[in-house]
């Protein structure tokens, strides 16, 4: 049991830059790095990779991570992450191989299994409220179902001496809650303390957001050197203080404003922020700058964790085809709209296989649907997005997108793409139906 834990963010999504985390690891300022590697669509795509090849489905960066952070692990420090995605065992194999290559023989790797709840979702025919159906009604389209799991198995594995802990859909803040509660000796049913750990996790989980990303709005909000944003870290103390900071000499900033902005991110009810670990209470938080790029957050609380776990269900929605072309000068809007009409006619023979067609004139009506008028534009880009039920229809539509080169005068810069359309929708399961297991393997 310690009085303070020092933890940093390794990544905030599956293709996040690793350089800021490497700099933080090399600084000696943190003993833990937590890597959030998953977003909703990321996990469904990982499941599709696994369906095509059962040996895949894990985070694709693990070989590089083991190379870049070998020194961090070799100095008896710890990494936690949801690197497993759709295949925690494949991720563990990658970590073990990377550890042996880096000379980290004996590294204890903790593996968490059980977040894949596809069987339970189908067997229980759970409701998919956003879709207005049950799982059974769209059984043929469901490609994945993963429960958001909490910090308990992370704490368990850290207690067993694991220094690289990985799993599937470990919830974003839980990646941080586990190490914090382990180091400070906080019980996972001490709701107020877990609420504090969750505040720290919520501040760090989005990485460079809290150091200035998605914040600058000149001339109202300006930060320096946004090209060089740093990964954030936090010091969490046994008296329930969270101090957020960044490396000196890096860009952006950790300020009262950046911290408050991140605190509100994706939080519908500040008094009842639901996570697998706790119903966190952010409503009485106090935020104050205590030094350059150092912000203290106090006043977090919490109540019992929700009785049900959120589940992310991935749906195969066919294929998306996107085509774009630009028009400029007088008449550009009219030419773009005519081109859209021409393409609608060319798509008509495939109407039965088209589930959705969206037309946007970027610069005119894509965001505000024409409600914000700013005069006639000098240029416009037509975007056609077509969702097709099957690959044959999508291929035909993609071929017809080529006609944008010829349909209307003055068009240029035609692009097209075709990719699987993966939809995600929430469901809920009672906790006792999500059966987790842990294992420690040694490199």
The DSSP string of 293-329 is TEEEEE--EEEPPPSEEEEEEEEEEEEEEEEEEEEES
Number of other residues whose CB lies within 10 A of the CB of residue 301: 21
Q: Please give the pLDDT value at position 59.
A: 96
| Closest CA relative to residue 361, chosen from 337, 343, 394, 397 | 337
pLDDT single digits (tens) 352-378:
999 999 999 998 999 888 788 788 999
C-alpha dihedral, 427 to 428 to 429 to 435, nearest 10°: 70
Q: Please give the pLDDT value at position 371.
A: 83
Order of strands across the sheet that contains 242-245: 286-291, 294-298, 242-245, 233-237, 4-11, 32-35, 78-81, 164-166, 108-113, 437-442
**Would you say 439 and 156 are in contact if contact means Cβ atoms under 8 Å apart?**
no
**Would you say 426 and 360 are in contact if contact means Cβ atoms under 8 Å apart?**
no
Q: Please give the pLDDT value at position 368.
A: 87
pLDDT single digits (tens) 378-428:
999 999 999 999 999 999 999 999 999 998 999 999 999 999 898 899 999
Q: How many Å is the Cα radius of gyration of the chain? A: 24
pLDDT single digits (tens) 46-82:
988 998 899 999 999 999 999 999 999 999 999 999 9
Residue 350: pLDDT band with limits 50, 70, 90: very high
This prediction has a pTM of 0.94
Pick the CATH number of 316-423 from 3.30.70.100, 1.10.287.130, 3.30.70.2860, 3.30.930.10: 3.30.70.100
**Would you say 121 and 138 are in contact if contact means Cβ atoms under 8 Å apart?**
no
* Span(s) in the chain for CATH 3.30.70.100: 316-423
Q: Please give the pLDDT value at position 163.
A: 98
Percent of the chain beyond pLDDT 90?
92
């Amino acid at each position: 049991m310690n009085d303070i834990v020092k933890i940093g963010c390794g990544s905030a999504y599956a293709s996040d830059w690793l350089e800021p985390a490497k700099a933080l690891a090399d600084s000696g300022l943190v003993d833990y790095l937590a890597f959030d590697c998953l977003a909703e669509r990321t996990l469904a795509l990982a499941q599709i990779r696994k369906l095509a090849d059962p040996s895949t489905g894990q985070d694709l960066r693990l070989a590089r991570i083991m190379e870049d952070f070998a020194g961090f692990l070799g100095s008896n420090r710890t990494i936690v992450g949801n690197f497993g995605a759709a295949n925690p065992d494949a991720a563990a194999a990658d970590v073990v191989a990377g550890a042996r290559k880096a000379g980290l023989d004996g590294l204890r790797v903790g593996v968490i299994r059980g977040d894949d709840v596809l069987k339970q979702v189908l067997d229980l025919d759970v409701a998919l409220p956003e879709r207005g159906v049950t799982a059974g009604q769209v059984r043929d389209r469901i490609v994945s179902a993963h429960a958001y799991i909490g910090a308990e198995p992370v704490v368990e594995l850290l207690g067993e001496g694991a220094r690289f802990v990985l799993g599937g859909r470990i919830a974003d803040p839980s990646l941080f809650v586990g190490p914090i509660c382990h180091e400070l000796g906080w019980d996972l049913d001490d709701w107020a303390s877990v609420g504090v750990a969750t505040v720290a996790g919520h501040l760090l989980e989005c990485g460079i957001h809290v150091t200035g990303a998605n914040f600058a709005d000149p001339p109202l909000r300006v930060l320096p050197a946004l090209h060089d944003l740093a990964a954030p870290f936090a010091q969490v103390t046994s008296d329930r203080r969270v101090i957020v900071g960044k490396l000196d000499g890096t860009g952006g900033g950790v300020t009262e404003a950046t911290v408050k902005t991140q605190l509100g991110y994706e939080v519908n009810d500040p008094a009842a922020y639901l996570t697998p670990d706790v119903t966190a209470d952010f409503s009485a938080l106090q935020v104050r700058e205590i030094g350059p790029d150092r912000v203290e957050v106090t006043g977090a609380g919490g109540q019992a964790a929700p009785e049900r776990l959120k589940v992310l269900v991935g749906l195969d929605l066919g294929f998306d085809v996107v085509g774009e072309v630009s028009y400029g000068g007088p008449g550009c809007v009219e030419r773009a709209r005519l081109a859209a009409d021409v393409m609608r006619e060319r798509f008509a023979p495939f109407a039965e296989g088209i589930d959705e067609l969206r037309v946007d004139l970027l610069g005119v009506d894509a965001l505000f649907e024409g409600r914000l008028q700013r005069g006639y534009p000098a240029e416009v880009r037509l975007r056609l997005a077509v969702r097709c039920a099957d690959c044959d229809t999508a291929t035909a539509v993609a071929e017809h997108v080529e006609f944008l080169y010829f349909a209307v005068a003055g068009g240029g810069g035609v692009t097209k793409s075709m990719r699987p359309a993966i939809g995600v929708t929430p469901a809920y399961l009672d906790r006792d139906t999500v059966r987790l297991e842990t294992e420690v393997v040694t490199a």
